[in-house]
Amino acid sequence: MWIANDWKDYQIIDCSEGEKLERWGNYILLRPDPQVLWNTPKKDPAWNKLNGHYHRSSKGGGEWEFMDLPEQWSIQYKELTFNLKPFAFKHTGLFPEQATNWDWFGNLIKNANREIKVLNLFAYTGGATLAAAKAGAKVTHVDASKGMVTWAKENAVSSGLGDAPIRWLVDDCVKFVERELRRGNRYDGIIMDPPSYGRGPKGEIWKLEEKIHPFIELTSELLSDNPLFYLVNSYTTGLAPAVLSYMISTEVVTKHGGKVEAQEIGLPVKTSGLVLPCGASGRWTK
């Protein structure tokens, strides 16, 4: 498992009864997590010091209960700053486990000794975009949500990357890739973090299990003649690391050689010393 264990401003304090107790900077949140299938004694005093609690509804969805939480606050990961705010369906605007991927491709970019062009698809609030830009890459950031792209720009400014070479685009990722292929544009690194289910700006429907392999095939054509890396992340529990590995091998290794690794990614839990699984990633590099 690849573990994001270099955080100072974020921590999973404990997990029990389908929920994870987290510290986001100075604030304690309690949120549901489908991987927490165990019940253990809640001994840490933080269980009784919540700033916010997302209650899952038996009918689907849920709602936040706020005790003492600002509308927005920020945390840091190394040299990056992220603005957080609780919004629909339990999220805060950041997936901390992705830091293990940021470190991986950040080191590749820093050590490449050449200009690296990176494409970040389904780019959300820009964690991977900022990590790539901080490492020295020129980045194209694509997400179907205008609100998410705006949020990502705010994170860039907070991280001192407001003038970095980042191209911000609100677009359907599949249609954007198809246009880039026609235009002849190519990238040295591709990052994608596709949702299990989603809709594009014009109502285009995305279902991961149906779309992911054709999309990997399509995006593999966007790699340059001397590509550096290719990364696919998935939160869909049914998509095993081996499946990611097979798909990337089929489409990328056959064209460019190199090797693929795929693992679960996770976050350490303070109280138990366990690691909470948070999806899987498939990585290709030469």
- Residue 198: the pLDDT is 66
- Considering the chain, what percentage of its residues have pLDDT values greater than 90? 87
pLDDT-derived band at 231 (thresholds 50, 70, 90) equals very high
Please compute the mean of the pLDDT values over residues 164-171 and round it to a whole number: 97
**Beta-sheet strands, E only, within 67-192:** 73-77, 80-84, 117-121, 138-143, 166-170, 189-192
**What is the spatial distance between Cα 276 and Cα 102, in angstroms, rounded to a whole number?**
18
Name the region of 268 (left: φ>0; alpha: ψ -120 to 50; beta: rest): beta
User: For 33-86, how does the pLDDT look when each residue is reduced to its tens digit (9 = 90+)?
Assistant: 999 999 999 999 999 999 999 998 877 789 999 999 999 999 999 999 999 999
- Residue 200: the pLDDT is 63
Alpha carbon of 128 to those of 7, 82, 104, 137, 213: distances in Å? 15, 12, 11, 11, 22
**Structural domains of the chain, ranges and CATH numbers in brackets:** 2-84 (2.60.40.1180), 96-285 (3.40.50.150)
Report the DSSP pairing between strands 117-121 and 189-192: parallel
- Residue 238: the pLDDT is 65
Query: Which phi and psi angles does 168 have, rounded to 5°?
Result: -100, 125
Chain position carrying tokens 């100075």: 26
Q: Give the pair of three-digit tokens for residue 228.
A: 């550096």
Question: Would the pLDDT of 166 be above 70?
Answer: yes
Q: Give the pair of three-digit tokens for residue 30.
A: 């309690």
Question: Would the pLDDT of 223 be above 80?
Answer: yes
Question: Crossing angle of helices 127-134/146-158, nearest 10°?
Answer: 40
Report the DSSP pairing between strands 229-234 and 275-285: antiparallel
What letters, b where the CB count within 10 A reaches 16 and e where it falls short, cover 233-263?
Answer: bbbbeebebebbbebbbebbbeebebebebb
